[in-house]
Amino acid sequence: MRQTRLDTDRIRAARQVIDPAFLDTPLYRCEALEPGLGCAVSIKLETANPVRSFKGRGTELVASRLAEDGPRAVVCASAGNLGQALAWSARGRGLDVTVVASRFATEAKLDRVRALGARLELVDGDHETARERAAALARHDGIRLLEDSLDLETCEGAATIGLELVDRPAAVPPYDAVLVALGGGAMATGVGHVLKALAPGVEVICVQPQGAPALTLSWRARQVVTTDATETIADGVAGRFPIPSVLDDLLLVADDAVLVREPSIIAGMRLLLHHAGLVVEPSAALGIAAILEDRARFAGRHVVTIVCGSNVDMGSYHRWIGAPPQRGAATLLRSDRGGRAER
């Protein structure tokens, strides 16, 4: 269990540690999206960095502290994005990284983990199987186990996105809601903490697929709810086992948590491609999907959506959005045994 809570002063200090490549990412009004959505929309783009997701903000904190205090080896379970980010942050600091992943994870993400120099161990099963194996390796080898969303660095690194949302550019008009993809909860709790502390009038709305609803159901019930399976193309948020301390934080900062259907996620990806020029992974389109499913709620408002990742198998991507198919994978990521969501 987490022993401390998120802290705004520590989050501000984190900006001095995180590589500038991950900071001050674009925030801009995307008027081309607005006719199809019926509201003003701004994009916070977290894909324009070396690992094409927001995860590097957190792994920079982890790697910098390990480089100072040790141990100099770390293991994590990852569906791909966390592993890439940890490998990138560690390689310039002389740290050894092992990433444990399901052999059914997106191949493009696994290839990038290898390319960044991490040791990659594949397991049969899902992310929960990978998490158990990573924990066993940490115990056996006496190395650091990084658990996304549970370890505070991952949340406070992601929370720096919130600081940038509060200090919006002058060209971006005031907004009244932020849509955040909800998986393990690092980004939702981190960004939510900052907004509630510094911009309490902004509504924090978390978005999760109907096929992977565990943390949303937990938020609604105010207690941990697990599910028997996940079935969604949004592999970055596909988990069954919410972390109790993360749920505690989420209950403090989220104004709402909504579920969206797979066709809406695909429609959101298509809109982001055709009207914003962005190729995104399914998890990054959850905010657009939420607007599509409840236009009346957002009509006349200004909404920010965080586009959180663009690591996607292009064969599957073309199949989903209807472009000519390339070499690809199945259209749905299915897990009957499930696991904690990890991007």
pLDDT digits 0-9 by tens, 125-171? 888 788 899 999 999 999 999 999 999 999 999 999 999 999 999 98
Q: What's the pLDDT score for residue 113? A: 94
Within 8 A by CB and 6+ apart from 51, the residues are 81, 84, 85, 88, 112, 311
Specify the pLDDT at position 325.
39
64 and 39 fall within a common domain: no
Q: Which residues lie closer than 8 Å to 10 by C-beta, 6 or more apart?
A: 156
In a domain, 20, yes or no: yes
- Asked whether residue 125 is assigned to any structural domain, the reply reads yes
CATH classification of the domain holding 269? 3.40.50.1100
As for how many domains the chain has, the answer is 2
Q: Please tell me whether residues 190 and 264 are part of one structural domain.
A: yes
pLDDT in tens, 203-226: 999 999 999 999 999 999 999 999
| Domain identity same for 86 and 101 | yes
d(CA 196, CA 97): 35
Please check whether residue 298 lies inside any domain of the structure: yes
Could you tell me if 94 and 126 lie in one domain?
yes
Residue 340 lies in a domain: no
Residue 74 contacts residue 144 (beta carbons within 8 Å): yes
Q: What is the pLDDT of residue 243?
A: 93
Identify the domain boundary among 146, 163, 192: 146
Q: What is the pLDDT of residue 340?
A: 46
Q: 109 with 223, same domain?
A: no
Is residue 213 located within the same domain as residue 181?
yes
**28-45 exposure pattern, b = at least 16 Cβ within 10 A, e = fewer:** ebbeebeebbebbbbbbb
Residues 195 and 94 in one domain: no
Nearest to 339 by CA among 82, 37, 33, 40: 82
**Cα separation of 319 and 332, whole Å?**
11
Find out whether 79 and 235 touch, Cβ atoms under 8 Å.
yes
Identify whether 343 is part of a domain.
Answer: no
Residues 142 and 284 in one domain: no
CB 250 within 8 A of CB 206: yes
∠ CA 129-104-317, rounded to 5°: 135
Range of the structural domain that residue 93 is part of = 56-146
> Are 180 and 124 contained in the same domain?
no
- Asked whether residue 299 is domain-assigned, the answer is yes
Same domain, 177 and 325: yes
Is residue 3 a part of any domain in this protein? no
**Which of 250, 246, 237 shows the shortest CA–CA distance to 211?**
237
Are 199 and 315 in the same domain? yes
Reduce the secondary structure of 69-136 to three states and give it as a string.
Answer: HCCCEEEEECCCHHHHHHHHHHHCCCCEEEEEEECCCCHHHHHHHHHCCCEEEEECCCHHHHHHHHHH
The stretches in the chain having pLDDT less than 50 are 324-343
Q: Check if the beta carbon of residue 42 is closer than 8 Å to that of residue 28.
A: yes
Residues 170 and 306 in one domain: yes
Where is the domain boundary, 124, 146, 168? 146
- Which DSSP state fits 323? S
Residue 156 in any domain: the answer is yes
Judge whether 45 and 25 are in contact, CB under 8 Å. Answer: yes
> How many other C-beta atoms are found inside a 10 Å radius of the C-beta of residue 219?
23
Q: Which of 97, 126, 146 is the last residue of a domain?
A: 146
